[in-house]
Amino acid sequence: MIGSRTGVLVLALVASCISGAVVTAPGAVAEPTAVDGPLGYGQTRDIAVVPLPGQPEGIAVDPEDGSIWSGSNRPNSSADVWHWDADGRLLETYSLADHVPAEHGVNGITLDGDGRVYALDYSGARAVRIDPATGAQSVYATFANLPACAEVAGIPCEPSPVDRPAWPNWATFAPDGTMYVSDLNQATIWKVPAGGGAAEIWYQNADFASIYSINGMQFDAAGRLNFVVTVSLAPDITSVGRGVVYRVALNSNGSPGPLEKVAVVGQADGLAIGTSGRIYLPISNPFDNSIQVVDPSAGSVVADLPTVVDRVTRSIPYSTPASVSFRGTSLMISNHGLLVIDPSQWAILELGVGETGLALNYPKGLA
């Protein structure tokens, strides 16, 4: 990481003010260029400019047709979920019902095997399910506001000295339909039973307590849940102020096994795993703006994509990329643009990485 953690956090606070300001809409958005073949390793192209309120966060790709889903995490605005076709043409916008404008909006986005979409909404600490076939919305899961463990005893709590509200941030399904959800505030991984309902605490660790805690997650080929802590405050000189990738195996009864540390990384947001086992991480530190590649067998970062020059000088610069999802041999990226004022930089980008993604779980028949 370049610069101090304090400096980054100050910038983040400034950015919150900027992102809440009124901005003018961009002029007529150019029709996206049709996708015309796979990108070379490290090459980027623009897929779509995101409409207002902007600030795309979560991202998911439909494995059947290559269409793209994302949602707006812009503060104090409508919680919009967007759907583009494979070439980046906007198909539909869904505004989450009963959303109260708040400090954050829509975070993680995931899909099931029946074509339904799950959007994590900060307002109400809930997962909202959208059925694109009908437009119907329903609350699929809720996440409790836990008291700080430092303040209570004998009841469920968050392993933090400070009490903060639930912030469901990233969702991924297990093969049996259980949804696992990271909590960026409460240092908790939640488990939602197949069919939905109130989330249960699955895994907690005091080392994850942070201003930005557990973020992107995915199961690897061995069935271990891989996840990243965006800003580690654990007392470890090698990782404090940086991101850390961990993984946890599931025991036969579904409980968490031992925690393994995979690698120290930049201040990462989302996470995706390739068929090689490599882990791809969008680095949301505004001094970096890269996609880092981790080789778990080496326990280290082996690449930063694209080049620094490309990140800065291309048509839409990389700006605090938030989430990634595989499509073919590329990553689809939500260009979150936390610090930008030009709304045309809120965009969906595509980055060639030379391998396909490890298949996600898309359960069917969830009630």
pLDDT digits (tens, 9 = 90+) for 160-215: 999 999 999 999 999 999 999 999 999 999 999 999 999 999 999 999 999 999 99
Q: Count CA atoms closer than 13 A to 175's CA, side-chain side.
A: 9
pLDDT at position 85 over 90: yes
Percentage of the chain surpassing pLDDT 90?
A: 88
Sequence spans of domains, the chain? 5-23+37-352
Mean pLDDT within 9-38: 41
Query: Cα(first)–Cα(last) distance of the chain, in Å?
Result: 44
* Average pLDDT of the chain, as a whole number: 91
CA distances from 225 to 74, 166, 183, 218, 299 (A): 28, 21, 15, 6, 16
Query: What is the reported pLDDT for 27?
Result: 34
Query: What is the reported pLDDT for 340?
Result: 85
- Token pair, residue 40, equals 């070379």
Give the sign of the dihedral formed by CA 294, CA 298, CA 300, CA 301: negative
Query: What is the reported pLDDT for 35?
Result: 53
Q: Report CA Rg, the chain.
A: 19
Mean pLDDT within 220-234: 98
> With respect to CATH, is domain 5-23+37-352 assigned 2.120.10.30?
yes
Q: Which of 32-41, 235-244, 336-345 has the highest mean pLDDT?
A: 235-244
Query: What is the reported pLDDT for 36?
Result: 73
Asked if residue 184 lies in contact with residue 197, where contact means CB atoms within 8 angstroms, the answer is no
Distance, CA of 263 to CA of 229 (rounded, Å): 11
Residue 347 — very low, low, confident or very high, per pLDDT cuts 50/70/90?
very high
- Token pair, residue 194, equals 């197949």
Asked if residue 58 lies in contact with residue 334, where contact means CB atoms within 8 angstroms, the answer is yes
pTM of the entire predicted model: 0.91
Residue 365 — very low, low, confident or very high, per pLDDT cuts 50/70/90?
very high
Among candidates 4, 127, 16, which has minimal Cα distance to 76?
16
Mean pLDDT within 250-254: 96
pLDDT at position 53 over 90: yes
Query: What is the reported pLDDT for 13?
Result: 33
CB within 8 Å of 75: residues ≥ 6 apart: 16, 19, 20, 101, 102, 103, 104, 105
